[in-house]
Amino acid sequence: MDNAVKAQPNFFEEKRGILSWIFTTDHKRIGLMYLYLVLAFFIVGVVLGLLIRMELIAPGETIMKAQSYNAVFTLHGVIMIFIVVIPSIPAAFGNILLPIHIGAEDVAFPRLNLLSWWLYVIGTVFALISLFTGQGPPDTGWTFYVPFSEFTTTNVSVAVFGVFILGFSSILTGLNFITTIHRLRAPGMNWTRIPLFAWSLYATAWIQVLATPILGITVLLVMAERILGVGLFDPAKGGDPILYQHLFWIYSHPAVYIMILPAMGVISEIIPVFARKHIFGYKMIAFSSLAIAFAGSLVWAHHMFTSGMSDTAVLIFSFLTFIVAIPSAIKVFNWTATLYKGSISVRTPLLYALSFIFLFSVGGLAGLLLGSAGTDVHLHDTYFVVSHFHYVIFGGTGFGLFAAMHFWFPKIYGRMYNERIANIAWLILFVGFNVLYFPLYVIGLQGMPRRYYDYLPQYTGGHFISTVGSWIVAVGLLIMFVNIFHGMRKGPKVGRNPWGGATLEWFVPSPPPLLNFEEEPEVTRSPYNYKGVEPDE
C-alpha cells in the first residue's frame, strides 16, 4: 500500500498541456495561474509606477504630457489595486494552501473556483481593452470619482465594467472559501486548530462577500450614468456626488483589509516557524482578524473628512477609525512576543516577515494621523497619503506576498532558490523601499498635493530622492524575480519540510499530489506545536 501511494504523481505531472491548466479544477493549479497573472501585472504596474516617478523627478514636463500622466497614474492604480493586490494573496496563495491547511482535497466548489479565475481573466481583459479603444485610457484615478468620471470622454465605461467583473470573481472566491472552511475541515481540525493563515482568509472572505456587492452596484451606476444619463450623482439633475463617494468607500475601505489581512496571515505562519516557538496569543490573532474585518467595515467615511460631512459624522468615523488600530496592534505585539526568547533562524521568509512588521507599523501609525480629523484636514490628498498607503499596501501586502513566495516556494516546486541571492535582493528591496517612500512623507507634510503633474521647486529634492529609490526597488525586484525563476527550474531539490513547519502542508510531498494527501489526515495537535517536528532538507 505504502509504495503504491508513494507513486502518486504530483499535481504538475498529473496532466500536461495548456488546456489541462486553464480548464483545471485543481485548487493548486488555479492558485498558481492566479499567481502568475498577478505577478505579470505587478510588473506592468511597477513599470507604470517607474514612469510616474520618472516624470516627477523634476518640475515641469520631463517624459510625458499631462494627459498621459493622468492616464498612467490611473492605470497604475487600477492595475495594482483591482488586478494585483486584491487577488494577490487570497486568490493565489489562498487557493494553493487553504484546502491543504485544513486537510481537504479541494475547495468546496472546484468548478466555481475555475469560474472565478476565468472571470478574473475576463475582467482583466476588459481593463486592458479600455486602454486601446474609445477615446483614450481612463484618466479619473482608480476611484472613478463623479462627476468627472461621468463626463470625461475617455474610456471609463469599459474600465468600470472590467472592475465589476473582477469584483464578481472576488465574491465567488470569498464564498467558496467560507464554505470550504465550514464544511471541509479534516477530522480533528476544530476551530482552534485552524492555521492562522486560514483564519485570516476566513475573515477576508467575509469582507469579500459583504463589501464587494456595493462596489458592484457603484460601478454599475457609473456606467448607467454615463450611458443613460440618469443623473443620480449629477447635481444639475438633483443627484449628489457625495453619495457616490460613500458608496465607493463602503467597499473600497474594507477592500484594504482584503489586501492586508491575508498578508498578516502569512506573517503569522512564518514567524512561529522561524522562532521555533508556539505562536503567542493564537486566539487573539485569530480573533483580531475578525475584529479588523468587522471594525474595518465601519470606517469608510474617513476618506471623506474634507468632502463636506456633518461634524458629528466626522467625529464618529474618526473614532471608529482609531478602533481598527487596536486589533492591528494586537497582531504586531503578538508577533514580537512570539519572537521573544525564540530560537530564531534568520532565513529569507523571516527577513520579509520582519520587514513587513516594520513597514506595516510605519504605514499604520501614519494612518492614525490621517484618521484623526484635525490632522487629516492638513494632510488630505497630499503625498503623505500616498506614502501611507504605499507603506501599508506595498510594504504590507507586497512584502507579505514576497514572504509567501519565498516561504512556500519549496512546497510548490519541490526545489529551493538561492538563499544568499534572495537575502541580497531583500536588502536592496528594503532599502530602496524606504528611499522611495519615506521622502514622500516629508514632502506631503510640507504640502505637496498628490496626483499633480507639476509642482513647485521646493519639492524637487524629495521627489528626486524618491525617484532614485524607485530605481533601487526595481533592481531589488529584478534580482528577486530572476532568483525565483531560476530556482523554479534549476534549484536543488528539497524534501517535504525544509523549514520545519508544523502545519499540514509540510507533511505532504513537495509538490503535493493531485488530491493533496496520501491518506486522509487526522489532526491531533496545534499547527504551531513544534515538538518532534524536524526540518528535513
Binding site for other proteins (CB under 8 A): 25, 105-106, 108-110, 112, 171, 175-176, 178-179, 182-184, 209-210, 212-214, 216-218, 220-221, 224, 228-232, 237-240, 243, 247, 250, 514-515
Collapsed DSSP state (helix, strand, coil) of residue 10: strand
The CA angle 288-294-296, to the nearest 5 degrees, is 95
Minimum distance from residue 439 beta carbon to other proteins (Å): 39
The residue among 180 and 288 lying less far from other proteins, judged by its C-beta, is 180
Minimum distance from residue 367 beta carbon to other proteins (Å): 26
Minimum distance from residue 178 beta carbon to other proteins (Å): 6
Question: d(Cα 328, Cα 362) in Å, to the nearest integer?
Answer: 12
Quick check: 443 and 459 in contact, CB under 8 A?
yes
Minimum distance from residue 217 beta carbon to other proteins (Å): 4
Minimum distance from residue 59 beta carbon to other proteins (Å): 42
C-alpha cell, 492: 536543488
The residue among 27 and 463 lying less far from other proteins, judged by its C-beta, is 27
Question: d(Cα 96, Cα 409) in Å, to the nearest integer?
Answer: 11
Q: Where are the alpha helices (DSSP H) in 56-104?
A: 66-78, 86-87, 95-101
Quick check: 355 and 396 in contact, CB under 8 A?
no
Quick check: 138 and 152 in contact, CB under 8 A?
yes
Q: How many CB atoms lie within 10 A of CB 15?
A: 15
The residue among 18 and 227 lying less far from other proteins, judged by its C-beta, is 227
Minimum distance from residue 214 beta carbon to other proteins (Å): 5
C-alpha cell, 53: 516617478
Question: d(Cα 491, Cα 410) in Å, to the nearest integer?
Answer: 10
Helices 196-228, 282-296: inter-axial angle, 10-degree rounding: 10
Quick check: 100 and 516 in contact, CB under 8 A?
yes
The residue among 58 and 175 lying less far from other proteins, judged by its C-beta, is 175
The residue among 52 and 156 lying less far from other proteins, judged by its C-beta, is 156
Quick check: 55 and 63 in contact, CB under 8 A?
yes
Quick check: 511 and 413 in contact, CB under 8 A?
yes
The residue among 312 and 343 lying less far from other proteins, judged by its C-beta, is 312
C-alpha cell, 70: 493622468
The residue among 10 and 375 lying less far from other proteins, judged by its C-beta, is 10
Minimum distance from residue 64 beta carbon to other proteins (Å): 35
- Cross-strand partners of 493: 415
Minimum distance from residue 207 beta carbon to other proteins (Å): 12
The residue among 253 and 390 lying less far from other proteins, judged by its C-beta, is 253
Minimum distance from residue 490 beta carbon to other proteins (Å): 32
Minimum distance from residue 129 beta carbon to other proteins (Å): 23
Quick check: 186 and 104 in contact, CB under 8 A?
yes
Question: d(Cα 259, Cα 270) in Å, to the nearest integer?
Answer: 18
The residue among 171 and 332 lying less far from other proteins, judged by its C-beta, is 171
Quick check: 207 and 297 in contact, CB under 8 A?
yes
Residues in the chain: 537
The residue among 106 and 376 lying less far from other proteins, judged by its C-beta, is 106
Residues whose CB falls within 8 Å of the CB of residue 439, separated by 6 or more in sequence, listed in order = 461, 462, 463, 465, 466, 469
